[in-house]
Chains A and B, each alone.
Chain A
C-alpha cells in the first residue's frame, strides 16, 4: 500500500523535484549559510552596528555586511534560521529580508566570474602592449624593425590568446559538435584566421599583421562576456522550492494511539492529528476538533477560516488555534499542494520561448559573416590565383565584421540598467528580464501580500472606550490569531495596559473568553458574541449582557502601492487585480486604487489560466505576486515581479525581486526597461553602421590593420558610451 502511494519517480516534472526536497532536508544539517538583503543600509556605522549585533549571537560564527550589494552573509550553526537573523537585524532598526542562497551565489564569490576577470586582465595587458608596438608600425617602422615588432607582438599575442580565448573556443566547439552555429563560431574563426595569416605574413616579412586586432577583439568580447556573466542569474526551479513546503512527518492516530510517521506512508482514510501551528500534511476532512485555518498561502484569503467537523482542508494550510483530527482524502501526488507543484512545473517549462535581442541578432549575423568572408576569399582567389592575398582579405573581413560592438551592445546596457534599478531597490534575476519588461502592456496584481501587506490592521481604536480596549488587550494578548495579534499590537502601541481578568480560555474557532469582575467577557466572532456580522472584517467584545462592541479591521496597503498603480495607469497599461479573496474585499481594494478590472475567488489554476489566456490574446503580461497561489501565474507570465516578503518559491519563479517593502519602483522600472531596450536597438544600429562603412573596404582589399583597429575600437567605445547614457 505504502509503495503505491509514493509518487513514481519522474512520472511528472514536479515529482523529479522530490529528491531535491530530500537533499534539502540533509543539507539542513550542514552549517547554515544565510543571506539577508538590507536595502536601507548606507554608512560605516550601519556596517559595524549590524556586524557587531550578528556576531554577538552565540550561534553565529561569522557575519559580513557588503555595502555595495546591500546584503549580509552569515555563517551560523545549523539550527539558526534566516527568520531569526532577520528579526535580529530588524530589531536594530534596519529593514531586512531573506535572500535566496541561489541569487547570492550568482554574484558573490563565484569562480566563473573571477576566471573571466583574470582572462580579461591578461587580454587587456597583452592588447595594450601589442597595440603600442603596432602604433610604431603604423607610423612607419620598416624592414627589420617592423619584422622585429611583428615577432614580439606574436610572442605576446599567441600565449595571451591561448589563455584568454578559452571561453570562446569552448563555446564554439560545443556548438559545432551539436552541428549548430552560435556567436562564438565566427569569433573563433576570426581570431584563429587572423593569427594564422599574421604569422604567415610575419614569416614572409609582409606589411600587414593583425595581432593587435586579434588581441583587441578578444579583450572587447571578454569585457562583454564578463558584464553578461554578472547579470546572468542561475536558473533554479520554483517547483523544487515548493516541494520543500511539504510536511515531512505527520502524527497518525491508530486505535487512539499517536505515532509519528513519514508523510509518504500515509494512506487515504488515515486519521491524522494536526496540532495548532502545524501544516496540513494531506488533503482531508475534519473529523473532530474546532479551530481556524490560515489558507492565505494557497488561496490568498486574508482571514482565517473556521474549521469544524466536516470542513475540507488542503495540504499546506496552517492550523491556527486548536488541535484538529482529519481523515485523509488525498495523499502524496494527489494533494492540492502537489497539483500546484505540477502546475508550476508546467508553467516553467513553457517559459523558455523568449528569444533575446542578442540571440536574434546572432542568428542573422553568424551565417552572414561566414558567407561574406567565404565569398570574398573565393572571389579574390579566382581573381588573382594568389592564396596569400585571398586569405589576408578573408581574415580582414572576418576581423572587421567581428561582433565586438554586438557582444558589448546588450551586456553594457543591461549592466547599466540593472545597476540603476538596483539603486531603486530592484534585483534583476534573469538576463532577459529587462527586455521582456519593456514589452509589457498588461499588469496583473495579486491582492493579499502584494498590494496589501496581508496583515489586518485595527481601524477604529480611537472610537473605542478605554475599558473596552483594555479588556480586549487582556483577552487578545495570549492568542496567536491574526486579528487578536493586531489588537494587541495596536493597543500596546497606543499605550494601553491590559485589564485584570481571570480564567482566560481560548475557544478554538470562536474566540477567547475570560472573567472580569464577576462578569463573562467574550472576544471573538459575531455569532459567538451575539452580534450582527458587519460587511467589513470585524471582531466583537461582549462584557456580560451589554451590547457587543465591534473592532473593525482593514488590510493595510503596502507602501508605494498607490504610486505604482497610478504610474502604470499613466503609462497606459491595462491593470487587472486577481485574488483568491472574497468579492467585497477585492472590489473594495480595486475601487480604492482605481484598478478597473478585478477577479475574486480565483484558485491558483485560475490565475495561471487567466494569465495564459491574456498571453494567447497577444498581451505581454507582467505578473506581480507573492504567494504560493501566485507561483504558477508568476511562472506563466511574460515577466514577473515579487516583493522581498514573498514566499521562496514565488521569489524563485519571478524574474525581478523588490528588495524593499515599497512597490513604487515598478512603474519607473517599466520606463527604464523600455529605454534600455531602445538603447540596445540603437547599439545594434551603431554597430551596423560601422560594418556598412568598413566591410566594403575589407572586401575591396583596402583594409589595413589600422582601419581594422579603428573600426573595432571606435564602435565598441561608442556602444559602451551610448549604454551609459541610460537614465
Chain B
C-alpha cells in the first residue's frame, strides 16, 4: 500500500498539468473560432514572415 503515497501525488500532479494547460488555452482565446483556426493553417498568408 505504500505505493499509494507516490501514485496519488503523481496522479494529482498529472491532472493538475492538464488543468493548467486548459486554463492557458482559455486565456489565449483558443476556443473562439475552432473551425477557422483549423483552416487558417492551410492559407499561405504570413508564411514568409509573422503577421505584424
Contact = CB atoms under 8 A, between A and B. Distances in A.
Partners in one complex: yes
A125 B18 contact: yes
B45 to A, nearest CB: 5
Contact of B32 (A45, A109, A152): A109
A65 interface: yes
A67 B33 contact: yes
A23 B21 CA distance: 41
A129 B36 contact: no
Contacts of B42: 44
A384 interface: no
B12 A129 contact: yes
Interface size class of A (residues with CB under 8 A): 20 to 34
Contact of B39 (A47, A114, A122): A47
A114 B26 contact: yes
Given A48-B45, A114-B26, A129-B11, A122 B36 contact: no
Contacts of A48: 43-45
A106 to B, nearest CB: 14
Interface string A62-103: 000111110000000000000000000000000000000000
B26 A108 contact: no
B52 to A, nearest CB: 10
A132 interface: yes
A305 interface: no
B11 A68 contact: no
A66 B32 contact: yes
A125 B19 contact: yes
A132 B11 contact: yes
A109 B15 CA distance: 27
Given A45-B43, A109-B29, A128-B15, A66 B23 contact: no
A118 B8 CA distance: 24
B22 A121 contact: yes
Interface residues of B, number: 25
Interface string A509-550: 000000000000000000000000000000000000000000
A573 interface: no
Given A121-B19, A145-B1, A68 B36 contact: yes
A122 B40 CA distance: 30
A593 to B, nearest CB: 36
A25 to B, nearest CB: 31
A66 B35 CA distance: 8
A47 B34 contact: no
Nearest to A156: B12
A44 B36 CA distance: 7
B18 A65 contact: no
Contacts of A145: 1, 4
A279 to B, nearest CB: 38
Interface string B1-32: 10010001001100110110011001001011
B18 A68 contact: no
Contact of A66 (B1, B8, B36): B36
Contacts of B23: 118, 121
Contact of B26 (A117, A125, A133): A117
Given A121-B26, A125-B16, A152 B39 contact: no
A43 interface: yes
A52 interface: yes
A667 B2 CA distance: 65
Nearest to B9: A152
Contact of A69 (B11, B33, B39): B33
Nearest to A67: B36
Contacts of B8: 133, 152
Interface of A: 43-45, 47-48, 51-52, 65-69, 108-109, 114, 117-118, 121-122, 125, 128-129, 132-133, 145, 148, 152, 156
Given A125-B15, A125-B16, A129-B12, 12 more contacts: A43-B39, A44-B39, A44-B42, A47-B36, A47-B39, A66-B33, A68-B32, A68-B35, A108-B32, A121-B19, A125-B18, A156-B12
Q: Name the 4 nearest CB pairs between A and B, nearest first.
A: A67-B36, A44-B39, A68-B35, A66-B33
24 contacts: A44-B42, A44-B43, A47-B36, A47-B43, A48-B43, A48-B44, A48-B45, A67-B33, A67-B39, A68-B36, A69-B33, A109-B32, A118-B23, A121-B22, A121-B23, A122-B19, A125-B18, A125-B19, A129-B11, A129-B15, A145-B1, A148-B4, A152-B8, A156-B12
